[in-house]
Structure 1
């Protein structure tokens, strides 16, 4: 991490978040071109008040957000770190920020979905305490999805 690393809580309207999500989508469709039809409907950027962005030297380099899944549960979404900033612990930092924020809002459970080729992401989430569970809606029946859950 840089000497000037800043963690910012913001919303999905933030232009830096929109730019990072564009890079995330591009990387996903390059890695999984065959899945675009199955997953594109789940890939809508909704208005979200719970976004975290990490800045390094004033450049947005990583992001994540959560949305309400049910009264006790949040769903982690849109986790992404620019390739040149991976391996620096930024994803763990974002996860911790999101979980603390959700806990402050009264949530006690966190779920997420990732794709089977995302070995690094799966390892990251398991290291953070997530366990693989049966797929939840809207991922039931999607064999390429890996769903995970943890108490926060």
Structure 2
């Protein structure tokens, strides 16, 4: 496995995000447009792509929420590469990169029904917090935080 730091203009990142968006659209159903508005990638400067044998297999990104906090976004592993530790590797790389840039904390939102995603975040030291920002009061969402 090789992890590559890039930005949201990178073609492999964009293609993985298209697969993510298709999966989320199916998962979110009639609520998809609500969540999709927060998932635009046109200006994300901190993105990573994991490759296995030169095949783009997983991705993730973060964007600043404040001077101290980043929000982890666009986490996805191609189904054929799941259960190989890629999601954890992506999370750890995003944490390292955010810390290098002097951010102190990472937050994220996911669906309460995405048990595999929740498992990855909890296994990597994220803990549940009250839903923040646009996710406050959204029953389908759960939010997490980690001090970097």
Unmatched runs of 5 consecutive residues or more in structure 1: none
Paired position in structure 1 for 2:132: 136
Show the counterpart of 1:105.
101
Per-residue CA deviations over 1:126-148 (Å, capped at 9, x if unaligned) read 11111111111121121111010
1:32 counterpart residue number: 28
Let me know the Cα RMSD of the aligned residues: 0.9
Q: Extract structure 1 runs of 4+ deviating beyond 2 A.
A: none
Q: Normalised by the size of structure 2, how large is the TM-score?
A: 0.96
Map of 1:118 onto structure 2: 114
**Aligned length, in residue pairs:** 148
Shift of 1:56: 1.2
Aligned mates of 1:145, 1:71 — CA distance in 2:
24
Residues 22-51 of structure 1 show CA distances to partners (whole Å, capped at 9, x for unaligned) of 000001111221211322221212311111
2:12 counterpart residue number: 16
**What TM-score comes out, normalization by structure 1 length?**
0.94
| Gaps in structure 2 of 5+ consecutive residues | none
Aligned partner of 1:54 among 50, 55, 61 = 50
